[in-house]
Amino acid sequence: MMLRLGDIAPNFKVKTSAGELDFYEYLGDSWGVLFSHPADFTPVCTTELGKTASLKPEFDKRNVKVIALSVDSVESHQGWIKDINETQNVEVNFPIIADEDKSIADAYGMMHPNASATFTVRSLFIIAPDKTIKLIISYPASTGRNFQEILRVIDSLQLTTYHSVATPADWKDGEDVVVVPAIKTEDIPAKFPKGFTEIKPYLRMTPQPNK
């Protein structure tokens, strides 16, 4: 199954390192990040889970709940968590799914046979409160995720969800944004009272509206 942007994220009930849970119930009205790992006790993923734990305050202030997935057992996860906490100087503070039958990996298209016949690729999904998929990124096993980019994308997605703007290349929170083409130039002052700059009729910039 190949999920695409805008699709509804499949729900599931599963065993995790934090007990059994229903995915939709876990997310509630929050945004979600679901990210997969090839197996427990893998070096790059150990650093990633440690980084995720250390960024909990950043996810919390964005109303984001994080959940990881690996195809090993809950018992294996518990041992791995001990290693993560020890080596990364953190306390893992989010569930790790035990997807032993790979049913969730299959539902989310995490199995890429040309990359590995047996392991999930390292995919990441950002899911909105309405359970639609807003972002999909897949990484090779050798490249650690850039979590500052993930936070940046969450900031962009949340901004564009609640305001009629898009974010330009290399945008960071607090910088000017793009007025979407659907808004007529004559209507911009009423919607964006901070002002705007018309670079081209199709390229209008305005200060970030929620700052």
Residue 112 in contact with residue 82, Cβ under 8 Å?
no
Residue of 45, 127, 128, 133 marked active site: 45
Name the strands in the sheet holding 133-139, side by side, starting at the edge strand that comes first in the sequence.
19-22, 13-16, 96-98, 64-70, 31-37, 122-127, 133-139
* Sheet bearing 165-166, strands edge to edge: 165-166, 177-179, 203-206, 197-200
Active site residue 178: no
User: Which residues are CB-neighbours of 58 under 8 A, at least 6 positions away?
Assistant: 151
Q: Which residues are catalytic?
A: 45
